[in-house]
């Protein structure tokens, strides 16, 4: 049992270090296919989380206007603006930055 717990802790620590930070995001080109896929995956995951929350009659994480379709271009803009306004966010995982940026850009009323 202790070996299983140790293996789990090792896996969690490796995974935590593998996630892209805000600084790493800023150092990459928006044309980088790996970055495009990563940002699209994060956006889709948060979108599906919102769908799940909505279906359960719970408050959504953020509320994108119905006429706006999120794509990498506008997500990059939201991320860039958020990081510029809060430079300390550069040290955090990009997924956390994006979630906070989307909540700020599209608050639910």
Determine the average pLDDT of the residues in 34-51. 96
Is 5 domain-assigned?
no
Residue 82 three-state SS: helix
Is 31 domain-assigned?
yes
Q: What is the pLDDT of residues 5-19, one digit of tens each?
A: 454 455 544 445 579
For residue 99, is pLDDT > 60? Answer: yes
Determine the average pLDDT of the residues in 31-37. 96
- Tally of domains within the chain: 1
Q: What is the pLDDT of residues 61-79, one digit of tens each?
A: 999 999 999 999 999 999 9
Q: Would the pTM count as exceeding 0.85?
A: no
- CA 93, CA 41: separation in Å to the nearest integer? 14
Is 50 domain-assigned?
yes
Phi-psi label, residue 76: left if phi above 0, alpha if psi -120 to 50, beta otherwise: alpha
Q: Which domain holds residue 34?
A: 20-105
**pLDDT score, position 3:** 52
């Amino acid at each position: 049992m202790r070996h299983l717990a140790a293996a789990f802790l090792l896996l969690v620590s490796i995974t935590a270090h593998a996630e892209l930070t805000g600084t790493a995001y800023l150092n990459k080109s928006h044309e980088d296919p790996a970055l495009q896929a990563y940002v699209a995956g994060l956006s889709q995951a948060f979108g599906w989380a919102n769908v799940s929350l909505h279906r359960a009659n719970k408050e959504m994480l953020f509320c994108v206007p119905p006429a706006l379709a999120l794509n990498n271009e506008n997500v990059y803009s939201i991320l860039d603006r958020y990081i510029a306004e809060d430079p300390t966010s550069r040290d955090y995982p990009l997924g956390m930055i994006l979630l906070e940026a989307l909540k700020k850009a599209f608050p639910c009323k």
